[in-house]
A and B are shown apart, each in its own frame.
Chain A
Amino acid sequence: MITEGCAIPGIGATRFSSSSGRTALALAAEAAQAALADAGLAAAEIDGIVRCTDDVVLHNDLIETLGLPNVRFWAHGGLGGTAPSAMIGYAANAIRAGRASTVLAYRSLNGRSGRRMGSGYGCADPLSAGGEINGRFDEYFIPYGLTTPGQMYALIARRHMHEFGTTREQLGEIALACRRRANTNSAAQMCERTMTMADYLGARQISSPLGLFDYCLESDGACAVIVTSTERARDLPHPPAVVAAVEQGGAAGVQAGRTLSALMRKEPLTFPSAVVADNLYRRAGLGPSDVDVAQFYDCFTITVLIQLEDYGFCKKGEGGPFAASGVLETTLPINTAGGHLSEAYIHGMNHIVEGVRQIRGTSTGQVDNAEVCLVTSGAPPATSALILTGDR
């Protein structure tokens, strides 16, 4: 069996809020320090950095702010939510290749008080809809009022409902599953707010058929993880969360562009996640039935529903009945810290942090005997995912 040879011995996060009052750099530095402390490592031991391509915090910024004297590797890890799993993969590659021994990966954003990802494109200056034209095809969308990822996912959800009979209630089960997990996680932004199906169905519509609770939160905060060799991780305080496999995937038909162009795919109801899943399971020597707990990238409820299909937990089109069958509370617990829908929106990096907690046995939504955790990163662009396991 191929393995990445690496593990995650340290995780860190800031408080999640709607107005941090601090720079993204301050948040990133705090999360990184927390991850170092968690791993029992000193700053001098970090010799690699992986950053999300969308992060405003550069590797240089952290080298200077944290006083890292020995950085000799860095990489920039992909678009927004698609990046986090791939970022762990770059770290593992660098470690295996001898380019670094201990790598910091982070995501930091003032996603509510600063630039709001969900506000979409062409908003600041509508007359320059083509201003960022290269590869994004804004001119095919912005003049028609199709300007946000939420509107795009609404079109996908409507089509899924048409083809497969998927219902609002089935999407609601995903929102409720995440909310119940958040209600036991004191770090979750929605910890104190319970939700019922009536709340879900009664919430105002944003872009039909999606309503308020189909949308993820917008958050200020940062998460950081430390990656090192599994061998080295065994000498550190926490039992290693082993990176059993990482995959990235895209295939012809993924469509050029970033987000909205996914609507032009031949099969818009299947994400590149399906390509990632096949290779990921093969690389890990595991299958969907081995997964004890999953952290699905959940910018919207429909994003999770389609990934339930793409990652092989049910057949294409059956994501709705599957989500409503009760499995999200039993055999396939998902987003055990609350996910983007109810914990915080740290662009998929909080999913990796929570995956590590599950393997350690320290989650506030701990799954008994969790030995295999699937963590997925964002869709619809070409994406990535990883599997964490105990040290077996």
Chain B
Amino acid sequence: MNELPRPVPFTDDPDTGGFWSAAERGELAVLSCTSCAAVIHLPRPMCACGSAELDWRPTAGSGRVFSYTVVRHKMNRAFEVPYTVVLVQLEEYPDVRLTGYLPGEVAIEIDQPMLVVFESYGGKVVPNWIPQAVAPAAAPTTRQGAA
């Protein structure tokens, strides 16, 4: 039993907030530059090309496991161990990686296909990743009250 509820993300940061408002619409979005088309991840207030004209571009919400760890030593009272953290690279933008949380020890392999799901808890919508093999047919999906 977790001693504390799962942390919710801070969603109103001017630079990263668009990621979370896209999630509320059921989209996994990446920040991109309207001038040079570069994808900017982690999000920053301007592109390295000098432009500050940026927008959030929806993605297909699929990816592959870049790395993973099974956490066995409890470090945070909101996360009962064991649990599995995945680092997923997006299929369309391999240089963009995002984090996923899977309760328990989950058998994961690097390069394994993953699908985004949108989990609602604590009043927020949080993108998360699950193995494609176990994903429901119509992804992306929404899971309620996960974790």
Contact = CB atoms under 8 A, between A and B. Distances in A.
Contacts of B59: none
Contacts of B69: 151, 154-155, 158, 207-210
Contacts of B78: 126, 145
Contacts of A209: 69
Interface in B59-83: 66-73, 75-79, 83
If over half of A's interface residues share one DSSP class (helix, strand or loop), that class is named, otherwise mixed; here it is: mixed
Contacts of A141: 99
A206 B25 CA distance: 37
A143 B85 CA distance: 11
Interface in A96-151: 119-120, 122-123, 126-131, 133, 137-148, 150-151
B48 A252 contact: yes
Contacts of B79: 145, 147
Given A127-B8, A139-B9, A151 B101 contact: no
B85 A145 contact: yes
| Dominant secondary structure of chain B at its interface with chain A | loop
Contacts of A128: 10
A143 B70 contact: no
Contacts of B95: 266
B41 interface: yes
Contacts of B85: 144-146, 151, 155
Nearest to A139: B9
A20 interface: no
B20 interface: yes
B77 A257 contact: no
B13 A159 contact: no
A139 B16 contact: yes
Contact of A206 (B20, B72, B101): B72
Contact of B76 (A123, A139, A210): A123
A314 interface: no
A335 interface: no
Interface in A216-259: 252, 255-257
A139 B20 CA distance: 10
A126 B4 contact: yes
Contacts of B4: 126
B98 interface: yes
Interface in B1-42: 4-11, 13, 16, 20, 41-42
Contacts, number: 130
Interface residues of B, number: 42
Given A138-B10, A145-B101, A158-B68, A256 B5 contact: no
Interface string B92-130: 000111111100000000100000000000100010100
B73 to A, nearest CB: 4
A264 B20 CA distance: 18
Interface string A257-289: 100010110100000000000000000000000
Interface in A173-209: 204-209
B67 A162 contact: yes
A156 interface: yes
A137 B42 contact: yes
B143 interface: no
A143 B9 CA distance: 6
A137 B75 contact: no
A140 B6 contact: no
Given A126-B78, A144-B100, A255-B42, A205 B6 contact: no
A119 B73 CA distance: 11
Contacts of A145: 71, 76, 78-79, 83, 85, 101
Nearest to A159: B67
B87 A155 contact: yes
Identify which of B6, B10, B87, B128 gathers the most chain A CB atoms within 10 Å of its CB.
B10
16 contacts: A126-B77, A127-B8, A129-B10, A137-B42, A139-B13, A140-B42, A140-B98, A145-B71, A145-B76, A154-B69, A159-B87, A162-B67, A162-B110, A207-B73, A255-B42, A264-B97
Given A120-B75, A205-B72, 9 more contacts: A128-B10, A144-B128, A147-B76, A151-B71, A204-B73, A205-B70, A206-B73, A207-B73, A264-B96
Q: Rank and list the top 3 A-B pairs by shortest CB-CB distance, nearest first.
A: A130-B10, A139-B9, A126-B7
